[in-house]
A and B are shown apart, each in its own frame.
Chain A
Amino acid sequence: MTGRLFQFGRRSRDMIRRDVDAELQFHIDARTDALVREGATRDDARAQALREFGDMDDARRYIRRMDTDIEHQSRRRDYVSELRQDLAYGIRMLRRSPIFAFTAILTIALGVGANTAIFSVVHGIVFKPLPFPEPDQLVRVWSANPGANSRQAPVSALDLDDWRAQRTQFADIGGWWFADGGSGIDLTGSGDPQRLSVAFVSPGFFPTLGVPSLIGRLPREDEMVRGGDDRVVVLSHGFWQRRFGARQNVVDSSVTLNGEPYRVVGVMGPELRFPSDRVEAWVPYSTIPDASIPRIRPVRILDVIGRMKNGVALPQARADMNAIAGRLAVTYPEDANWGEATVTLLADAITGNVRRGLVALLGAVGFVLLMACVNVASLLLARSTVREREVALRLALGATSGRLVRQMITESLLLSIIGGAIGVAGATFGSRILVALASGQLPRTSEVGLDVTVLVFALIASLATGVLFGLAPALRARRSDPQVALREAGRGLVSGRGQRLRTGLVIAEVALAVVLIVGAGLMTRSFIQLLRVDLGFRPANLLAVNFTISTSRHTGQAHRLVYREMIDRVRTVPGLVSVGAVKNAPFRGNGERIGFVPEGLSLGAGEQPPTAPLIHVSDGYFAAIGARMIEGREYNEQDGALRVAAPGGEPVFSDTPSLIINQTFAERHFPGGSAIGKTLSFGENRVPIIGVVNNIRQTTIEEPVQPTVYINNMMNSRVQVTLVARTRGEPLAMANAVRDAIWSVDREQTITSITTFDQIVGEAVARPRLLTVLLGLFGTLGFVLGAVGLYGVLSYLVSSRQREIGVRIALGAPRGAVLGMVVRRGLVMAGTGTIIGLVAAFSLTRYLRDVLFGVTPTDPATYALVVVSMLAVAVVASVIPARRAATIDPSIAFRGE
C-alpha cells in the first residue's frame, strides 16, 4: 500500500503511446551510439540496431496492449483499495460520532422504510399486472342505462348469453355472481356443515380469465349450462388445503352442496383469487334455480369480464358491446332502456377507486423521504463544518478534490445503505400493518409483499437518498480552499456559503413540511366530516348475524315460516333490547333495483318509470337499528303474516302489501305533502305507503342517500337474512345466545358471519381512516423534522456567532434586540418556506380531491391553521436558541481561543 504513495499519475492512451515510443527509441539510439563507438558509420550502425531489434511494429503494438492492460489493472486495484479505505474511514468516523450516526441512520430508516412499505402496498395493488395471462386484454363490462344515468349496472344472465353469442371483438366473455356473505352454498356431509363462499360463474368465465386449473380440469362448456351435467365445482387453493388437506384425489370425488351431490372437477392455483380473496369455490351459475334468482332479463345480477381478441383496442371493444346492447334493446322490451354497455380495463375497474388515494400516499411519503434527505444533509453539513480542518488538511496533503468528494459520497452511501436495510426490515412489518389497517377494504391485498421490484425500489430509494443528501456537503468540501479553511476552522467563523446552503435546506424543509401538513390537515378534516355524517341509525350495541335460509330443506313457502320463527325465537333471548332483520344491512349491499310509478305521475309514451333500490326488512327493523319514523309507522307482526305469494320473480305481493319509503324518496316524489296513503305502482300492482323513515346510509358513508323503498320480507320473501339485535351490553357477548336461538329453529342452519355494526361502520370508513392515519403520521413527521431542522440551524448559527453576538451585547445592544434578531431570522426562514409550501400544496392537493369528503382541496380553514401552527412551531424552535444568544456573556468576545 505504501507503494501507492509514489505512484505516478494515471497514464492516458497517448501517454502510453509516447512512453513506448521513447523506450524503443532509447534502445535504438543507445545501440547505434555503441556501434558508432566501435567504428561503424552512423547509417550502418542504425541499420544494424534495427536489424538486431527485429519486428519493431509488432513489438510496439504488443507492448502498448500490455501497458493498457497494466493501466486498467492498476486503476481497478486502486479503486477497490480506495473504496475499502473510504469505507473503513467512514465506519471509523461514524463510530466516533455515534449520536450523529444514530440520528442519521434512524432518519433514513424511517424515510426509506415508510416509502418501501407504502410502495409495496401501492405496487401490489395498483402497479403490478393482474395475475392472469395477457392482463391488458381483460376488460370489465357493465350494462348501461343512460336514461337513469346508471352506467355500471350488473348484467342479466340472458343478456350475457346474447353478448357472448354475438361478440365479434372478444375472445370470450364471462360473468359471475358473488356477494360477500351473500352468495354461498351449504356444504354438508363429511365434517361440520359449513357455508361456503361461492362465486357462481357463467360458461365464459374460466376461458376469459385464461388460467388453467392446478390439478384436475376446468368445467366443460356443457357442464355449465342448464340441462347439462352442471353439478360440478372447482375448489380454490386455500379451501382445498383447509378442508381437504391438499389431497390430490379430491378430483372426481363427490361433495354435498345444498343437499345435492356435486363432482369436484378441479382445483385452482393459489394465485387465482378472482373475483375475491374470499371465494372458496366456483360453481356453475346454471345451478341457481329460478326460485332463488329468476333467469329473466330484468334481473341484472352478474358481474362481467371479457377478453379482447389479440390486437383489439378498447374503442373497438366498446363499439362491439354497444352495438350488441343496442340490438338487444330493440329486440327485448325489458332491455329497452339498457341499450348501452360500459367497458373499462379490468385493472382500472379493480383498483380505480383506490388508486388516487394510494398514489397520493405515495407522493406524501416521497415528501417524507425528501425531508429525511434534507435533515440528514443538514446534519452532514453541520458536521462538515466541524470537519473542515480535516478536509483542509487532506487537501493540503495532496488529496484531489475528486477523491474527497468520493470519500464524502461513500460515507453518505454507507449511512443510506445501513439506514435503508433497517428501513426495509421495518417495511416488511409496516406493509402488513397497512394491509391490516385497511380491514379488507383494499383489493388485491394478497399480492402485497416484498418482491424483487419492491426491493429494487428500496435499494434505489436508499442510494438516491445517499447521493442526494451527500451531494451538498461533498460539493462544498470540493470548493473549500485549504488555506482559508486551515486558518479559520475551529475559530467559530463560518463561511457565508455554508450558512446560505443550510438556510436553503431549512426553507426547503419547511416547504415540504407545509405540503405534508396541509395534506394531513385536509384528510383529517375530511375524516372528521365523514364521522359526523348522520348514518340514520345507531351502530353502537348492535349485533349483525348473517345467514341464508335453505330453500332446499325448507321447500315451498316453508322458508317464510322459518324466517318468522327465527326472529320470534331470537326476540325471546334475554339481554336483547330489540330485534329485526334485513336483507342488505347498511354498507352490506344496495338492495334490488326496481322500477315504479309514483301516484300522480303519468309516463309519456316510451318513457321509462323511475327506479329505486328495494330493501327487504322485517317488522321492527327500524326500531332495532335505531332509525326514526318521520311519518306513519313501520311494519308490525301482523303485516304480511302468513300470507302466501308466488316464489321469486318480479315483486309479487300478498293481498295487503304496503311500503315504507325514506325521506329522500318522499321529498323527491311527493314534495310538499304527506306521502302516507299515497301509492306506488308496479305494473298492475298499486301499493300504499304506510311510513316514511329517516335517511339511512346504505351504500357508503360518503354517498348521499338514494330514494329508497323498503318492503316487508313477509310480503315479498328473500332468504338472505341479516338479523340485527340491539343488546344491553357488549354485542358479541350475545352472539352465542342468538345463534342458539336460530339453531333451535333449524339445527342445520349455517351462519355466514356474526359481527357488530361498529365493525361494519369501521370497515366502511377503513379506507379514509387508513389515508388519514398515514397522512397524519407523515404530517406529524414533517412537523417534527421541520421544527428540528429549524432549531438545528438556528442553534448552530447562535453558537457559531457567539463572539459577534458577544461584541454586540458588550457594545450595548439590548438583550431583547438580540433575542428578536434570532427569532426574526427563524421566522423569515419559516415564513419563506411556508409561502413556497403553500404554493406547492395549492397545486398538489388537487390530487386529493377524489378522496376528500366534505372539504375542498383548497379549504381556507385548513391552510390558515397550517400557516399559524407552522409559524408557532417556528417561534418555539427559534426562541430556545434565541434565549441562549441573549444570555451570552459579553466577555466571551474578548476571551482568547
Chain B
Amino acid sequence: MNRDAMELLQGTLDVLILRTLAWQPMHGYAVSRWIRERTEGTIEIEDAPLYKALHRLERAGCVSAHWGLSENNRRARYYRLTAAGRQRLKVEENSWRRYAAAVFRVLEPA
C-alpha cells in the first residue's frame, strides 16, 4: 500500500465510520460488519486501519467511547458519535457528494 492510497483510504474510512455510528452507538466489530455488508465486498477493508481510525476519531473528539455489554454479554467497547462528530460527518459527506458528482459528470457522456 503506498502512502497516497493510505491517505485516501483513511479519509474514506473516517467518513464511513462516522456514517455508520450515526445510526446508533456500536462496538468496533459491529462497525466492521456493517461497513462490509453495506459495501458488499466492493471495498477491501482490513480491521486494523478501522480500529486505528476509531481511536483517532476518539482523540479528535468525533466519537466518545465507553464499555458496555455486547449481545452475547461480553464486555465490548462502544463508540458513540459526539456533536463534533456529527458536524464533521456533515462536512465530509457534503464534500464526498460534491466530489462524486464531479467525477460522475466527467465519466457520464453529455
Contact = CB atoms under 8 A, between A and B. Distances in A.
Interface of A: 8, 19, 22-24, 26-27, 29-31, 33, 52-56, 58-59, 62-63, 66-67, 69-70, 73
Given A27-B29, A59-B51, A66 B58 contact: yes
A484 B49 CA distance: 55
B19 interface: no
B47 A27 contact: yes
Contacts of A23: 28, 51, 76-77
B75 A26 contact: yes
Contacts of B51: 23-24, 27, 59, 63
Interface string B46-65: 11110110011011000000
What 5 pairs across the A-B complex have the smallest Cβ distances? A54-B46, A54-B48, A59-B48, A66-B55, A53-B47
Query: Which of A23, A55, A70 has most B Cβ within 10 Å?
Result: A23
Nearest to A30: B29
A70 B48 CA distance: 19
Contacts of B27: 26
A27 B55 contact: no
A70 B32 contact: no
B49 to A, nearest CB: 7
A55 B51 CA distance: 11
Nearest to B56: A66
Contact of A19 (B46, B56, B59, B77): B77
Contacts of A19: 67, 77
Contact of B55 (A31, A56, A63, A73): A63
B23 to A, nearest CB: 19
Given A19-B77, A31-B29, A54-B49, 19 more contacts: A8-B66, A22-B77, A23-B51, A26-B29, A26-B75, A26-B77, A27-B32, A30-B29, A52-B46, A53-B48, A55-B46, A62-B52, A62-B55, A66-B58, A66-B59, A67-B55, A67-B58, A69-B59, A70-B55
Contacts, number: 64
23 contacts: A8-B66, A19-B77, A22-B75, A23-B51, A26-B28, A26-B74, A26-B77, A27-B28, A27-B32, A29-B74, A30-B29, A30-B70, A52-B47, A53-B47, A54-B46, A54-B48, A54-B49, A55-B48, A56-B48, A62-B52, A66-B58, A67-B55, A70-B55
Nearest to B28: A27
Contacts of B29: 26-27, 30-31
Residue in A24, A30, A63, A69 whose Cβ sees the most chain B Cβ within 10 Å: A30
Contacts of B56: 66
Contacts of A58: 48
A19 B65 CA distance: 11
Interface string B81-99: 0000000000000000000
Contacts of A26: 27-29, 70, 74-77
A31 B31 CA distance: 12
A31 B72 CA distance: 13
A150 B49 CA distance: 90
Nearest to A64: B55
- Max chain B Cβ within 10 angstroms of own Cβ: one of A27, A29, A73: A27
